[in-house]
Chain A
Amino acid sequence: KAGVTQTPRYLIKTRGQQVTLSCSPISGHRSVSWYQQTPGQGLQFLFEYFSETQRNKGNFPGRFSGRQFSNSRSEMNVSTLELGDSALYLCASSRGEPGSYEQYFGPGTRLTVT
């Protein structure tokens, strides 16, 4: 079974630009969660999508948004990039059903904002 894939793996943007990151979950998984990882703050939850609906949202500004498509693939968008948005963005997939608890992470997208 193929794992979670994320594209692109590396990205360099300048302040003020916007960026879109993509995540393809494991086949059959309907939940996709997004996390931001930085050395100072560690892993922080951004949002979770399940069956095309945002199910939960973390404490990030509205510049961070996402969506999920009918095939469970998900995208996240960051607008008006700031230097502090430089981070590793990880997505994770799971079945997302009651009783499920295993979550599988993708390799991440390393975003650098200059």
Chain B
Amino acid sequence: GQNIDQPTEMTATEGAIVQINCTYQTSGFNGLFWYQQHAGEAPTFLSYNVLDGLEEKGRFSSFLSRSKGYSYLLLKELQMKDSASYLCAVRPPYSGAGSYQLTFGKGTKLSVIP
């Protein structure tokens, strides 16, 4: 099976940088995803990592270390609209190429304060 851990809640100040961590224990691995979900809305795709290292996309960056079972999402220049839940999800190796059997963490609720 797969077990994914993320902090439940975090608070950060507008304009600051915040790092949301995700650790996973799996019997295999075929990619890690980060999604953003605003209250009452559907999740939206943020990033995908399958190899170790940092992927940067504008104000958002995602890092992966497969040997440590660890990822983080880095949000820079925080804005009030970044207040949302951030979901880490892992795709298992047995799900098949192109498949979407994702296991999600319970999400980190980020509150951005003025």
Contacts and interface: CB of A to CB of B under 8 A. Distances in A.
Interface stretch (B9-17, B18-26, B37-45, B67-75): B37-45
A96 B101 CA distance: 11
B100 A96 contact: yes
B102 A104 contact: no
Nearest to A42: B106
Contact of A42 (B33, B96, B104): B104
Contacts, number: 71
B114 interface: no
Instruction: Say whether chain B's binding surface is mostly helix, strand, loop, or mixed.
Output: loop
Which has the most chain A C-beta neighbours within 10 Å: B44, B45, B105? B45
**Contact count band on B:** 20 to 34
A101 B90 CA distance: 12
Contacts of A33: 100-102
B41 A107 contact: yes
Contacts of A104: 45
A90 B45 CA distance: 14
Which has the most chain A C-beta neighbours within 10 Å: B89, B97, B101, B107? B101
Contacts of A48: 99-101
8 contacts: A42-B106, A43-B104, A50-B99, A96-B100, A100-B98, A101-B48, A102-B45, A107-B42
Given A42-B87, A43-B89, 17 more contacts: A31-B98, A35-B104, A41-B106, A43-B43, A43-B104, A43-B107, A45-B101, A45-B104, A48-B101, A55-B99, A56-B95, A56-B100, A90-B42, A96-B98, A98-B98, A102-B45, A107-B42
Interface of B: 31, 33, 41-45, 48, 50, 87, 89, 95-107
- What are the nearest 3 A-B pairs in CB distance? A98-B97, A105-B42, A42-B106
